[in-house]
Structure 1
Amino acid sequence: MTKRKVGYIWRLRDIMAAQRVFTATELVPLLRDRGIELSASQVHRLVSGTPERLSLQVMAALCDILGCTPADLVTATAENAGVRKTAGGDLPAPAGVAKLRPRAARILPDA
């Protein structure tokens, strides 16, 4: 079974620009009108970065403000993860490797 690497693309800034909302500070009162109390710096982080967590209330408010759907704001990505090879790979160990064990050191007293 192939492992998959999943992620997402946060498209808030693109959707804002399409709706002619160009700054994060423009969103603060619009969010407040919908019962979402976020500081200007919190809204700036939403706009300029990619959030790891987002409440559905905030998502619904953003969709209402911008006239879009959650699918417009978040684009899911998925790709096959590369298979990591181990140092030994799938090859059997060469003959005699089991005999290559370190020997215990002996400490001799000073003469």
Structure 2
Amino acid sequence: MTELDYAWHLREVMAERGMHSTAGLRPLLASRGVDLSPSQVYRLVVDKPERLRLRTLMALLDILDCAMDDLIEPLTSRGVRDTRD
């Protein structure tokens, strides 16, 4: 049985788009109906979330103009990208 995991690339995607501060992300999320505290936004950026509301994910995809696989990279138990198609 394969254990599934994922890599979270929010910080990298933000940096690619010139966003280097978590403070700037909070009002952008709020404008899309996602109200998070400064500490929640910080944790979302620097830590791999164990739970993520779909509304929050959709807001991030819209803000960053990216696809889900830009933020979430599926991994197998050996740290290899899951290439199932």
Report the TM-score, using the length of structure 1 for normalisation: 0.68
After superposition, the C-alpha distances for 1:42-76 in whole angstroms (9 at most, x for unaligned) are: 00000010000000000000000001011110000
Q: How many residues are treated as equivalent by the alignment?
A: 78
Residue in 1 aligned with 2:6?
A: 8
Residue in 1 aligned with 2:51?
A: 53
- Higher RCO structure, 1 or 2 (CA under 8 Å, sep 6+): 2
Q: Which runs of 5+ in 1 are unaligned?
A: 81-111
After superposition, the C-alpha distances for 1:87-107 in whole angstroms (9 at most, x for unaligned) are: xxxxxxxxxxxxxxxxxxxxx
Which structure has the larger Rg over C-alpha atoms? 1
Residue in 2 aligned with 1:21?
A: 19
Distance 1:8 1:65 in 2: 21
Distance 2:42 2:68 in 1: 19
Distance 2:32 2:54 in 1: 13
Moved over 3 A (4+): none
Residue in 2 aligned with 1:73?
A: 71
Q: Which runs of 5+ in 2 are unaligned?
A: 79-85
Distance 1:73 1:7 in 2: 13
